[in-house]
Structure 1
Amino acid sequence: VMAAAHEFEVLGLPALPLEDFALIRKHFRRVSVEVHPDKCSHPQALNAFRRVYGALERIADPLLQRLLLSSLRSRGLVDGEAIRQHEEERWESLAADTLDEENENGDAWWQQAPLHKLRAAAEESLGARLDAAAAALVGDGVGDDVDEIRWIGARKALCLHAAQQLIMIDCREPEEFAAGAVSGAWNIPLQFVQSYGLVQVLGMDRIHELLSERRNQLVVIYSNTSAPFSRCRALCRWMLRAGHASLPTARIRRLRGGFAAWE
C-alpha cells in the first residue's frame, strides 16, 4: 500500500474512469482489512489505513476521481489513450475551478486523522443508504447535478466563517449537533428532511435568510466526515431539488473532512 504509485494502485483498481461504487467499495473493504490497525501489527498500519481511506475518498467522488486521473495522465503515470477523451473534456473546467479554490494536498484531512475518525468516515461512506434514498426521492431530473458540487477545505471555510461570509448547515442528528458543532451553524437533520421535507425543516425565516438576506454567501453543508456518499451529499440533493430555480451548484460547497476536520 505505501509503495503504490497512486490511489488506483492502492485499491488494486484500473486507472480508468470508474462509476461502479460497489466495485470501489469491494476493493476498499478487501485492502482495508489487510492493513487495519486493529488487525495488522505492522508499525505503518495506521498510515497505510489512512492512505487506503484517502484512495476511497478520491476515487469514489466523481469529481475528485477525474481530477486524480487528469493529474496522473499529466505525470505520465497512466495510459492517456485508455482514458476516454470526452470524459476529460467534460470535467476540465470543473477540475480547474476546484484546484483554484482549495489546496488539495493541504486539505487531505485523512493524512493526519486519528483512527477513530477514519473508522467513522469509512463506515459512513460504505453505508451509502441515505444518499441512495435521497436519489430515489428527489432524483427526478429537476435541479442541478449533485456531482458538480465542489468541496471547500476546512482552512478556507474557517477564514470565511470568521468573516461571517458563510451559511453553515449541519445535517447530523440533533444529539450529534448538541455534542459539538460549528458556531452559528443551522442544524437541518437529514432524517427530518426525509420525513417532513426540506421546506418544513428549514422554516420560512431561514428560507428568506438563505435566498434574500444572505443570498451572496456560500452555503457549506457538512456531516461528521466528508465520506463520498455521506449524509452531506444526500442533503445536497434535497437542496438542489428544492432550490432548482434559485440555488445553483455554484453556491453550495461540501466541507472536506466534515466536522472531523473542523475540530
Structure 2
Amino acid sequence: GCVSALENNLFRAPVARHEAPETDFLVVVRDGRHYLRAIDGGLHLAGQVHPFARVPAPNSKDHQATVKKKLLTYIHTKLKDGGWVKTMDVVDEFPDVSEAAIRKQLKECAEFGREGADGGKWTLRPGFDMPRDVTDPSNDTPETACLYEALDRGERRLKRLGVTKLHHLTGDVLSAVAEIGRDRALDPAIRTAAQCVVEILRLAPWNVSGALLAALDSRDKVPLQMLVGSATARKTTGRDGAGAKDGGRDRREQAEYPRKRQ
C-alpha cells in the first residue's frame, strides 16, 4: 500500500496517523513556559528519517569553508564604509574559532594600524573585493544553513558531555575502548564511561547521516545501534528498544521507496 511521507530537500520521513486517547494532551514548551493543548482528531507522527544530505563533520573541508565565509562576511560588514574592528571583537563574536585563524583572515582583507589614536585597529585593505563564492547568493540556501546548524548543535552536545577531542569512531578509538572493556582490573564505571563515549560519537549527526546515506546507496543494512544506541545506552537513557523488531519491514519499505536524487 501507499505510505504517506514528509519530504523536502534534506530528508524523507514516513508519516502515520495515530488515534490519541481522550486522556492524552499535548505539552508545548515556549520561552520557558509550558502550555497544554487538546488533541483533536488524532496525531500524524513522523517516523525514521531518511536523509538526502550528509551533515558535515567538524573541521571538514565543507565546515572550514562555511566558517571562513561567515568570518569574512562579518569582518567585511564591520570594515566597509570606513569602519574598523579590533581583533578581540572578532574573537568574542566567534568563540569557537582560534585567534590565529581569525588573524589570518583579517590579514587577507584588512590592514592593521599600530600608531596614533586608532592604533590596534583593523581597517579595510584598499582595493579589496569580496570573493565571488562568498557574495554568490546561490550558495546561501536554507538547506546549507540547516546542515551547518545541525553540525553546530552536534558539536556543542559533544562538548557538553565532555567529549572535546574526538568526532569520529576511528580504528584507534574502537581499539582503545575494546582494550578498556577487556581489562577487568578497571573500575566498571570506567568501562561503562568508555562505552558511552563510543555511543556519543556514533550518534553524532555527521556520523548518523553518513552511515544512513552509505546504507541507502549500497542497499546495505544500517546498524541498529546507529538508530537507537546499544543496550548499555538504552539502559542509561531509559530507552526500551521498541520498534527494533520492525527492521525487516523498514528495509522492505526502503527498497520500495528509493532515495530521491537531488
Same fold flag (TM > 0.5):
no
TM-score (ref. length: structure 2): 0.24
Q: Which structure exhibits the higher relative contact order, with contacts defined as CA atoms closer than 8 Å and separated by 6 or more residues? A: 1
User: Which structure's residues are more often helix, by fraction?
Assistant: 1
Larger Rg: 2
Instruction: State the TM-score, normalizing by the size of structure 1.
Output: 0.24
